[in-house]
Amino acid sequence: MTCTCGATLPEGAKFCGACGATLAAPAPAQPPAPVYQEPPRPMYQEPEPVCQEPVQPAWQESAWQQPAYQEPVYQQPAYQQPAYQQPMYQQPVYQQPAAEEPPPVGRYAPISALGYLGYYIVFAIPVIGLIMSIVWAKDREGSINRQNLAKLMLVFMLLGVAVALIAAIFTAIYWSTAVSFFQQAAGGLVDLPVEFFPS
């Protein structure tokens, strides 16, 4: 290997020892280009069809086997002792007794048994009972129980008057027929007046 100055240098030197010039590294030798060779193509050979008959399976009679009887094994259940639980004590809840309501007084005071007896005696008097029933039924400041009792007695009195009027009208219409019926039934032994009501 020689430099441009003519000095002889050893192989692989990068600088010249005489002139100090940098030596270029020799270019590596390029490998030869590969030559492409086409692989040989396999020749196609069409397979020859081969006909094979299906093989029929040989029928074998299956032997019937009776299943073996197995006696069931009895297993006694394991006894479990019940766990004892002590009852929990519950303290009773104290309930305060309800306070008794005071009896109604004044207008809503109840009427005693003797009071009802006295009112019925007053209502039984013909004229005074009617007057007192009207007075007590209109009393807005007295006992409400006495007021309701007086209204009930007025209703009973009106019903009694209506029944008495219906009976009187019925008697006036059918009196002569009833008298004739009783005379025939008695065979003329009883002499009753036919004309009871004057015309």
pLDDT by residue (tens digit) across 88-142?
A: 878 888 787 777 777 777 888 898 999 999 999 999 998 999 999 999 999 888 8
Query: What is the separation of C-alpha 136 from the centre of its chain, rounded to a whole number of angstroms?
Result: 56
Q: What is the mean pLDDT of residues 179-190?
A: 68
Q: How much is the pTM?
A: 0.39
Answer whether residue 141 is part of any domain.
Answer: yes
**Could you tell me if residue 194 is inside a domain?**
no
- 12 beta partners: none
Q: Are 16 and 7 in contact (CB under 8 A)?
A: yes
Q: Are the C-beta atoms of residues 110 and 145 closer than 8 Å to each other?
A: yes
Chain segment 16-28, per-residue pLDDT in tens: 777 877 776 655 5
Q: Which residues contact 151 (CB under 8 A, 6 or more apart)?
A: 137
Contact 196, 179 (CB under 8 A): yes
Q: Is 145 inside a domain boundary? A: yes
Report how many domains make up the chain.
1
DSSP 107-150: GGPPPPHHHHHHHHHHHHSHHHHHHHHHHHHT-SSS-HHHHHHH
Q: Answer whether residue 146 is part of any domain.
A: yes
Range(s) of the domain holding residue 136: 111-171
Query: Please, what is the average pLDDT of the chain?
Result: 77
